[in-house]
Amino acid sequence: MTAARFDSPQTILTGGGSRKEAAALLSALHAHHSLIVVDPYFLTADFVTEIRSNLDRNGIANDVFGDLQPDPTDENVRAGTNRFREVGADSILAIGGGSALDVAKMIGVASTNAEPLSRFQGYHRIPNPGPPLVAMPTTAGTGSEATKVAVITDTDRNVKMMILDAKLMPAAAIVDYELTMSMPKPLTAHVGVDALTHGIEAYVSRKANPLTDPVALSCIRTIHANLRMAWADPGHAPAREAMSVAALQGGLAFTNSSVCLVHGMSRPLGLVFRLPHGLSNSVLLPTVTRFSWPGSKSRYGEVARAIDIASAKDSDESACEALSDWLDQLNTDLRVPRLRECCGGDVKQFRAALPKMAADALESGSPQNNPIVPAASQIMELFEVAW
Ligand SMILES: NC(=O)c1ccc[n+]([C@@H]2O[C@H](COP(=O)([O-])OP(=O)(O)OC[C@H]3O[C@@H](n4cnc5c(N)ncnc54)[C@H](O)[C@@H]3O)[C@@H](O)[C@H]2O)c1
Ligand SMILES: [Fe+2]
């Protein structure tokens, strides 16, 4: 029986200026006509114009699609798929945060599969691969450039679908930290804690394996050493570069292990209260860690020791407590609000939403990878504790 499988893009470029290699990578993938799926924030950015000129010089026709929203929907994917077909594209260059990258991934497979998108929800449900896709993140968070995952809201059912299939893995990733330098402080904080959550959940998951463990630990260590600096001094290039690499590692780790309870709870929470993905994870991470560590004391203890907030002499229990405290302190330092502040303080509306949020969390499959698999009633209690 296979013990572990590790999927990744065929090529990963990192470093400042690596965006200039986009045309060369697309050429190597035999692209003749690329649809550039770009975050609306960068629609008129100079670097996108430069990339388009490079594509022209390489004989690759190109068109732009930027009609997408943060935490994107099936409508965004349908509009992009129509555009992909209209212009006769054969490849995709995705530029943006996780939202643009996920829309681009789904445009790819929607162009080669007739099924409605809702059929792809869950694990390994996509029949045909999409066209070659090169992914270039502009946030240091989701790691979507190196994951076989897309998260898309089904607007009919009001569900944030987690779609996991190796056919969603980009052919190439270009991780140019210079594109992340414009992130404002709250975005830096939220996507940074999302990346940290990927590292921690990949490491404590029931699906953790010897290939993902070192990548996850490196992600966690690098974020511990750099997130505060990237937040406090947005122009700090070394911290930005480190965070971009850590987010990439977080993606590589969780996509070959899994995410767990934080992500399971954060998707419905984000959908109901319109919280961006990074924020909905950030507000849950300390509470869910406190609940989960008794199920895997040695693993959470190792995380605490990896970032030197506990030593070999400390018991696993005290290392786990130290980790939970550090996560609380990190949120405080990065000015991450409490859940009640994000949800407008309306506790009645919050309580009314709990049963569906708990059911949707369990339905996603992610909580089942957690060291402690909660019942729906426990998920509702955890939401209350985080409130
Ligand atoms: N595919 C995966 O593996 C995976 C993993 C985790 C999360 N996700 C999904 O990714 C989405 C979130 O992605 P995200 O957290 O990267 O944010 P995002 O892509 O939603 O972007 C958030 C906001 O930041 C702006 N932005 C992006 N880059 C910027 C920059 N450099 N400077 C200034 N503004 C910038 C965007 O325009 C947007 O308004 C969610 O839908 C989430 O569910 C996907
Ligand atoms: Fe995430």
Is residue 4, in this structure, part of any structural domain at all? no
Q: Which of 139, 145, 271 to mutate to test the pocket of ligand 1 (most atoms within 8 A of CB)?
A: 139
Answer yes or no: are the C-beta atoms of 246 and 222 closer than 8 Å.
yes
- The DSSP output letter for 97 is S
Nearest residue (by CA) to ligand 1, atom 13, is 98
**Does pLDDT of 321 surpass 90?**
yes
Atom of ligand 1 nearest to the CA of 255: 3
CA–centroid distance, 297 to ligand 1, in Å, is 32
My answer on whether 121 and 203 are in the same domain is no
CATH of the domain at 207: 1.20.1090.10
My answer on whether 76 and 124 are in the same domain is yes
Range of the domain at 191: 183-386
Grade residue 362 by pLDDT with cuts at 50, 70 and 90: very high
My answer on whether 317 and 331 are in the same domain is yes
Summarize pLDDT for 164-219 with one digit per residue, the tens. 999 999 999 999 999 999 999 999 999 999 999 999 999 999 999 999 999 999 99
CATH of the domain at 166: 3.40.50.1970
My answer on whether 214 and 159 are in the same domain is no
Grade residue 343 by pLDDT with cuts at 50, 70 and 90: confident
Mean pLDDT over 133-146 rounds to 98
Summarize pLDDT for 86-110 with one digit per residue, the tens. 999 999 999 999 999 999 999 999 9
In this prediction, residue 159 carries a pLDDT of 87
Summarize pLDDT for 206-229 with one digit per residue, the tens. 999 999 999 999 999 999 999 999
**Between the CA of residue 48 and those of 60, 136, 149, 151, what are the distances in Å?**
14, 11, 25, 25
Domain boundary among 179, 212, 228: 179
What is the residue type of 89?
A: A
SS3 content of the chain, % helix, strand, coil (to 5): 55, 10, 30
My answer on whether 20 and 137 are in the same domain is yes
| Ion ligand 2 — residues with CB < 5 Å | 194
Is residue 266, in this structure, part of any structural domain at all? yes
My answer on whether 72 and 211 are in the same domain is no
Domain boundary among 126, 154, 179: 179
**Does pLDDT of 374 surpass 90?**
yes
Is residue 2, in this structure, part of any structural domain at all? no
Q: What is the pTM of this model?
A: 0.97
Ligand number nearest to the C-alpha of 142: 1
CA–centroid distance, 371 to ligand 2, in Å, is 18
Sign of the four-CA dihedral 331, 100, 112, 2: negative
Grade residue 1 by pLDDT with cuts at 50, 70 and 90: confident
Ligand 1 in reach of 176 Cβ (< 6 A): no
CA–centroid distance, 191 to ligand 1, in Å, is 8
CA–centroid distance, 188 to ligand 2, in Å, is 14
The b-or-e profile of 300-337 (16+ CB within 10 A means b, else e) is bbbbbbbbebbeeebebeebbbbbbebbbebbeebebe
Terminal alpha carbon distance of the chain: 43
Closest of 147, 160, 129, 150 to residue 264, by C-alpha: 160
Ligand 1 in reach of 99 Cβ (< 6 A): yes
Domain boundary among 148, 179, 210: 179
Summarize pLDDT for 244-287 with one digit per residue, the tens. 999 999 999 999 999 999 999 999 999 999 999 999 999 999 99
